[in-house]
A and B are shown apart, each in its own frame.
Chain A
Amino acid sequence: MPGHAAAIPQGDLGRVLAQRERRFAAALLAPAFLALLATTTFPLLFLIGTSTFRMDLAMPFADGFVGLENYRTLLADDRFWSSLLVSLIYTGATVVLQVALGLALALLVMDMKRGQGWFRIIAILPVVLSPAVVGMIWRTFMLAPEFGIVDYLAINAGLGSKNWLGDPTLAMVSVVVIHTWQWTPFAFMVLLASLASLPEDIYEAARLDRASAWQRFRRITLPLLRPAIVMVVIMRTMVALTAFAAIFTVTGGGPGTATEILNLYAYRKSFTELSIGYGSALAVALLVVTILISGVLFALRRAK
């Protein structure tokens, strides 16, 4: 601590040194801070600003400040509500599936005597792929009629060829499955690490206390994994709410608006229909929804 006033004979020297140190620290921090401001805070404020304008590239003559008009339109917009619902279904389904499958896999792998390392490496592969690439792979290799692996299996299983991305329900199922496929390994890795850190001896104690395997899972494993599970839910929820690339490449939001999540709707409004102002309002709405849901989840995390 250079600001140790007592050690310095001239009265103000300590204060001067402390001030100099603070200035130096600020100088070191400044570049990163400015870069952050420029790339996150400013665009965010600009987005909020834009959302209060009518900005239609197709009809530039009508542009101008409209205040909350975009938001009023939004609340009355059926397509907004339906895309919000799609977002929530997509998020809920993928997060629940990721946690359930990830936990099941983690429990399975924990008991593997050999090959755990290989399994981890293979399992992590989908995570390192770009969601856009994943979307392309699924659309072409997996779900393409007749030639895609999934459709091929469906035909051989006697279910017949399905229009995986053309049928509204199946398309929704498909995008949920794709997201789950890519991100379950993340939940798996986090939960496996958490599981591996649980002490062995309390399971032995539970066995001697005559708890069955299911009781040991319900009464010991689950409560002890709770912090990790909640953390995974929070992180995956925030990402799923703002998912974009995979759905964009697989269905583009279609058929119709069957898989059009809020993010995609905002994109379509802004860059397909070119009404930037209304698109911005949609993006802000998504931001608000994300903050609200995250807030609830964080409150849940603190609850116990």
Chain B
Amino acid sequence: MSGRGQVRFEDIVKMHGEFAALKGVSFEIEPGEFFALLGPSGSGKSTTLRILAGLDAPSAGRVFIDGQDITAADARDRDIAMVFQSYALYPHMTVYENIAFPLEMARMSKAEIVPAVQEAARKVAIEHLLQRKPGQLSGGQQQRCALARAIVRKARLFLLDEPLSNLDAKLRLETRTELKKLQRSLGVTAVYVTHDQEEAMTLADRMAVFMAGEIQQIGRPADVFARPNSIDVAAFIGSPPMNLIPARYRDGGVEIAGHRLETSLKEAGERDVVVGIRPGAVRIAAGGIPAVVELVEDLGDTAILDLDCQGISIRARVSDGDVPREGTALSITARAADIHLFDATTRRRL
């Protein structure tokens, strides 16, 4: 199935009256890739997916699948399967009928449909539920049914719109790994919409980070995490979020709470910057910025410290062994390589 499911968006604009839901979005998805559209709600990621599916038409721009311009094609003619956030199962049909529906619409014979449905149901482990109605299934089972309906047709594109958001935390983790395995085994191109950066990080081969109708950054999750290209992306990716501290840059270093930290930027001169330090990159070491532990959130294997550095609040993640008590005075620092610098006015990475 490789070679199918290549997607290209060219300057897609979507207007809702005066409001621009998408302001010129362009990206490409390679065949077989697991591509995540990540962003907070209202950022345009779901709109992008709906335009790709053909459920909404863009106001401007063009959409290509496998090199073919399908901007004007109806959803029926795009050979795309989708898992909806609400699952959108047909409530009056049994699980079997739900999964068989896309095959019936493709005018397959009964002799072909039966084994195909069995196979799809087996892949998501719901063979024993085929005679039930969606109303008699749990949320997780409904989700699997929706998955089976999407994979049974072997479409060239597999779209998932926040498929895990209605599951409880434990089930979400389980399903997440299964989803990844399923996509790998099918080798199909998957486009996955989520607002959960952890889901995008763990599942996606590459991801596009959406903010306010625009793509801020596209890249492999690890790269986006390591080098966020704007303050917004930096604040969105990572949990707990990156510490962002306004500071003054001077000749290779920044000054925070009266203490100088060396950075990897070697540039003469002075400017206002925003310093980003991930909580996990904050080190407790003598001779750094003096801080007082305000609050400790113990997560078991790690702990999050809320620190007060002379009026600036900084969060630090420390491992279990040496958790300081609340009220303790200590000193923190960070390696030059772990310090992200952003321009205070353009909000871009320096």
Interface residues of A (CB under 8 A from B): 199, 201-202, 204-212, 215, 219-220, 223-224
Q: Does the CB pair B105–A202 fall under 8 Å?
A: no
Q: Beta-carbon contacts of B90-127 to A below 8 Å, as 1s and 0s?
A: 11100000000110011000000000000000000000
In the complex, the answer to whether B80 meets A224 with C-beta atoms within 8 Å is no
A204 lies within 8 A of B101 (CB)? no
Bound Cα distance from A211 to B75, whole angstroms: 10
Hey, what's the 0/1 contact readout for B70-95 against A, CB within 8 Å counting as 1?
00001111101110101011111000
B interface with A by C-beta (< 8 Å): 53-55, 74-78, 80-82, 84, 86, 88-92, 101-102, 105-106, 149, 153
**Contact B88–A199 (Cβ < 8 Å):** yes
Judging by beta carbons under 8 Å apart, are B75 and A219 in contact?
A: no
Q: Which of B53, B82, B153 has the most CB of A within 10 A?
A: B82
Contact A215 B105 (CB under 8 A): yes
Q: Residues of B contacting A204 with CB < 8 Å?
A: 53, 55, 75, 84, 88
CB distance from B214 to the nearest CB of A (A): 25
Name A's interface SS.
Answer: helix
Give every chain A residue within 8 A of B53 (Cβ-Cβ): 204, 208
Question: Which of A209, A212, A215: most chain B CB closer than 10 A?
Answer: A209
Min C-beta distance of A113 to chain B, whole Å: 14
Taking the nearest CB of chain A, how far is it from the CB of B151, in angstroms?
13
- Are the C-beta atoms of A205 and B105 separated by less than 8 Å? no
Closest to B153 in A: A209
Q: How far is the CB of B71 from chain A (nearest CB, A)?
A: 16
**Could you list 21 examples of A-B contacts with CB < 8 Å?**
A199-B88, A201-B86, A201-B88, A202-B89, A202-B90, A202-B91, A204-B88, A205-B84, A205-B149, A207-B74, A207-B76, A208-B53, A208-B54, A208-B76, A210-B102, A211-B105, A219-B90, A219-B101, A220-B92, A223-B92, A224-B92
Most chain A CB within 10 A, of B76, B91, B106, is at B76
Residue numbers in A under 8 Å from B84 (CB-CB) = 201, 204-205
Residues of A within 8 A of B106 (CB): 210
- In contact, B75 and A207 (Cβ under 8 angstroms): yes
State A199–B85 Cα separation when bound (angstroms). 13
CB distance from B278 to the nearest CB of A (A): 38
- Bound-state Cα–Cα, A220 to B89, Å: 11
Tell me the bound Cα distance from A209 to B83 in angstroms: 11
Given contacts A215-B105, A220-B90, 20 further A-B contacts (CB under 8 A): A199-B86, A199-B88, A201-B84, A202-B88, A202-B89, A204-B88, A205-B82, A205-B84, A205-B88, A205-B90, A205-B149, A206-B90, A208-B54, A208-B76, A208-B80, A209-B105, A210-B76, A210-B105, A211-B101, A224-B92
